[in-house]
């Protein structure tokens, strides 16, 4: 059933932040990992102690060397996470050479972590165009002017180039650069972590296999 999340249940009970004593595992019960993540994400958005709940660390591997950096999640789709970047940046080139990607969220005040694994691809060009047009003009200009990850003479040189571009194009409708757009992480695995006392944390892992979610409880 393409597009419909189903679960092959392996565990029986666990309290995982759905309310005191709530059981989100159970024979005959359906747990939807993406829906559950959206709930946790909403909790993070509503938390006063979290400034950027959509900040996620993405990790790539190139030439057998791992590399991690923080980007901003822009959309949660049915089976994918979306962020935007310069395709010629270090992460863009790494993803092009090896599309296997890991993304993680950590919200300390909620004692929660979520880790996603999957494969990445460029978003549809029309989708990237639509998002680019939604950005503030100055942010559009920055995406055009900055050759992300390239060595520059100085920050002042970059600012001069940026300000010159603004002056020359302040009345323009800017076009999205071909080397800038969305990256979609197609989710194959999700791990949820909820901190508990005495380091006896709750952990579950969800594998997507043949359009079914296989759920397992992990020891902390």
Which tens digits make up the pLDDT trace of 124-145? 999 999 999 999 999 999 999 9
Does the pLDDT of residue 5 top 60, yes or no? no
Q: Does residue 25 have a pLDDT over 60?
A: no
What pLDDT was estimated at residue 21?
30
CA-based nearest residue to 80, from 63, 56, 98, 62: 56
- Give the C-alpha distances (Å, rounded to integers) separating 91 from 66, 153, 187, 191: 11, 22, 18, 23
C-beta separation of 131 from 74 below 8 A: yes
Q: How confident is the model at residue 174 (pLDDT cuts 50, 70, 90)?
A: very high
pLDDT (0 to 100) of residue 29: 56
CA distance 192 to 101: 17
Read off the tokens for 188: 């194959």
The chain-wide mean pLDDT, for the chain, equals 86
- Which residues are annotated as catalytic? 199
List of domains in the chain = 6-134+179-218 (2.30.110.10)
The single residue listed with the structure tokens 């991690």 is: 68
Give the DSSP H or E segment for 71. Answer: strand 65-72
CB contact at 8 A, 99 and 188 = no
Positive/negative CA dihedral, 145, 125, 102, 215: positive
Q: Rounded to whole angstroms, what are the CA distances from 65 to 91, 98, 172, 173?
A: 12, 11, 42, 40
pLDDT value at 28 more than 60: no
**Among 6-10, 62-66, 101-105, 190-194, which stretch is predicted with the lowest mean pLDDT?**
6-10
What are the residues whose beta carbons fall under 8 Å from the beta carbon of 41, sequence distance 6 or more? 53, 54, 76, 105
User: For residues 1 and 65, which has the higher predicted lDDT (pLDDT)?
Assistant: 65
Residue range 75-133, pLDDT digits in tens? 999 899 999 999 999 999 999 999 999 999 999 999 999 999 999 999 999 999 999 99
Write down the pLDDT at residue 196: 87
Q: Which band of pLDDT confidence, cut at 50, 70 and 90, is reported for residue 198? A: confident
- Give the angle subtended at the CA of 27 by the CAs of 29 and 25, to the nearest 5°: 60
Between 74 and 14, name the one with better pLDDT: 74
What tens digit of pLDDT does each residue of 38-76 get? Answer: 999 999 999 998 999 999 999 999 999 999 999 999 999
Q: Report residue 130: phi and psi, to 5°.
A: -65, -45
d(CA 103, CA 115): 6
Interval 135-163 mean pLDDT: 91
Largest CA distance in the chain: 64
> Which pLDDT value is given to residue 126?
97
pLDDT at 16: 54
């Amino acid at each position: 059933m393409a597009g419909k999340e189903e679960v092959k249940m392996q565990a029986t009970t666990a309290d995982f932040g759905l309310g005191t004593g709530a059981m989100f595992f159970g024979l005959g019960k359906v747990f939807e990992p993406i829906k559950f993540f959206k709930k946790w994400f909403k909790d993070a958005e509503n938390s006063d102690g979290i400034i950027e709940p959509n900040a996620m660390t993405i990790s790539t591997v190139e030439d057998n060397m791992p590399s991690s950096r923080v980007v901003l999640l822009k959309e949660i789709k049915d089976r994918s996470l979306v962020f935007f970047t310069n395709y010629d940046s270090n992460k863009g080139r790494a993803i092009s050479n090896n599309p296997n990607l890991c993304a993680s969220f950590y919200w300390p005040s909620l004692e929660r972590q979520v880790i996603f694994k999957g494969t990445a691809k460029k978003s549809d060009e029309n989708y990237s165009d639509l998002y680019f047009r939604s950005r503030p003009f100055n942010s559009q200009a920055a995406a055009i002017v900055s050759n992300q990850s390239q060595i520059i003479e100085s920050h002042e040189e970059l600012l001069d180039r940026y300000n010159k571009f603004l002056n020359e194009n302040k009345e323009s409708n800017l076009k999205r650069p071909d080397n800038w757009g969305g990256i979609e992480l197609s989710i194959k695995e999700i791990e949820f972590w909820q901190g508990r006392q005495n380091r006896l944390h709750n952990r579950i892992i969800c594998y997507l296999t043949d359009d079914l979610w296989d759920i397992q409880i992990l020891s902390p």
